[in-house]
A = this chain, B = another copy of it.
Amino acid sequence: MGLIVQKFGGTSVADADRIRNVARIITETYRRGHNVVAVLSAQGDTTDDLIAKAAEINPNASKREMDMLLSTGEQISCSLCAMAIEAMGYPVISLTGWQAGMRTNSTYSNARIKRIATERVLAELDKKAIVIVTGFQGINKYDDITTLGRGGSDTSAVALAAALHADLCQIYTDVDGVYTADPRHVQGARKLEEITFDEMLELATLGAQVLHNRSVEMAKRYNVNLEVISSFSGKPGTKVKEVAKTMEKSHVSGVAKDKNVARLALVGLADQPGIAFKIFSLLAKEHVNVDIILQSIGRNDTKDISFTVSKQDMELARKVLEENAESLGFDRIDFNDQIAKVSIVGAGMINNPGVAAAMFEALYSAGININMISTSEIKVSVLVDINDADRAVQVVHDRFFSDFGVGN
C-alpha cells in the first residue's frame, strides 16, 4: 500500500493491444491497493511522423512550435490508455504536462523541470483515480508548451516520483532490466538484481541506453527508488538504488560498448603552459564534448595530446583545431573514427586494484590491442579497434562473469 509511479515508453504503447497490456499492468498494481501515477511516452513512431510532417513544411521550424506539435503525441497515448482503463472499469483520468503541474524553464525542445505543482495529481489520487500523465512535456512561465528532450519521459516519471514522494518509480521498457552486458550481443550476459545510481550513470553514459542519464541523476539527487522492468515479460526487473542492498558477488556490475567514438591526436605540440586549456576552450566554444583526454611526452621537448569526441563532432573538432594551427603550434593532427570504447563499471572496483589489470589481461590474451585507457572510481574504459569491439566485450565479460572466471 503506497504510491507507485510507472513509466511506459513508446514501444510499450505502440498499438491498441499494447495499450491494453499497459492498462492491465497499471490496474493490477491499483488492485493490489496502491495509488498509481502512470507516465506515458508517445506511441511508437508518432514523434518521428510528426517531425517528418514539420520538416515537409519548414525544416527550420522554431523549437517553440515544434514543442507545440510534438506534445500532442503523449496526449494521444495518454487519453487512449485512460480509455482502455475505463473499459476495464477502473476510475482514471489523463492529464497533460501543464495539467499535471510540470513547470519547466523556457529552453524549448530541451527544457528542464523546475518544479511540479502537484495539487491536481494529489486531488485526483485522493478521489482514488488512476492518474495518467503525459511524459516528455511541461509548460514554461509564459504558459507555452515545452518538451524535455531525449529521455524526457523517464525524467518526467522520476520528477513526479520525487515530488509526490512515491515509494517506487518503475521504468517499464522493452528489456527485462539492466544486464552485465548487452544480452543481444554478449553470451552469458546476466540480469542484475540491483545496481547503484552511480553504476547506472556510468553504464548509461557508456551506451547501455536503458535509462537516460538525466533521470538517473535526478533519482540519485532525490533518492527515488527506481526499478527497470519489462512491460512484456512479467518478470522482476533491476532495482536502482543509492546503495545496493545485496552486494553482487562481482566487483564489476557490467560491461558496456560505445561505437560512437572518434579519436584525435595533436602531435608535436610545443611544451608551453596553458596549451591544453587553449585547445579545450576552443572546442568548448563550438559545443564539442570531449571525453577521454591523454597527454604524453613527444620527441624533442614536444608533447602529444589525444582525446575522444563523438563521431559526428570529429570533423568540427578537426576544423577548429586546424584553423588555429598557428597559435597552437603542432606538427600534425591524427584522427581515427574506426574505434570503439569498451568499459567495465562497478562500485566495488575502487577497493580492488586487480580489476583493471584483469580487464587488460583478458584483452591481451585475446590479442586485442588497447589504444587508450581511462579510469574513474567506478569505471575502466579502453579504446580498441572497431572490428575488435564485440569480441572485446565478450572476453572481458567472460573474464568477470563466467562461472569459472577468476578474480571475482
Contacts and interface: CB of A to CB of B under 8 A. Distances in A.
A143 B119 CA distance: 12
Contacts of A19: 57
Interface string A73-92: 00110111011101100000
A83 B54 contact: yes
Interface in A29-84: 50, 53-54, 56-58, 60-62, 64-66, 68-69, 71-72, 75-76, 78-80, 82-84
A86 B58 contact: yes
Task: Describe A's contact surface by its main secondary structure.
Answer: helix
A65 B82 contact: yes
Contacts of A398: none
A144 interface: yes
B68 A86 contact: no
Contacts of A94: 65, 68
Interface size, A (range): 35 or more
A66 to B, nearest CB: 8
A53 B16 contact: yes
A20 interface: yes
A99 interface: yes
Interface of A: 16, 19-20, 50, 53-54, 56-58, 60-62, 64-66, 68-69, 71-72, 75-76, 78-80, 82-84, 86-87, 93-94, 96, 98-99, 120, 143-145
The 8 A-B pairs with the shortest beta carbon distances in the complex, nearest first, are: A72-B72, A69-B79, A58-B83, A61-B83, A68-B79, A58-B87, A16-B56, A65-B82
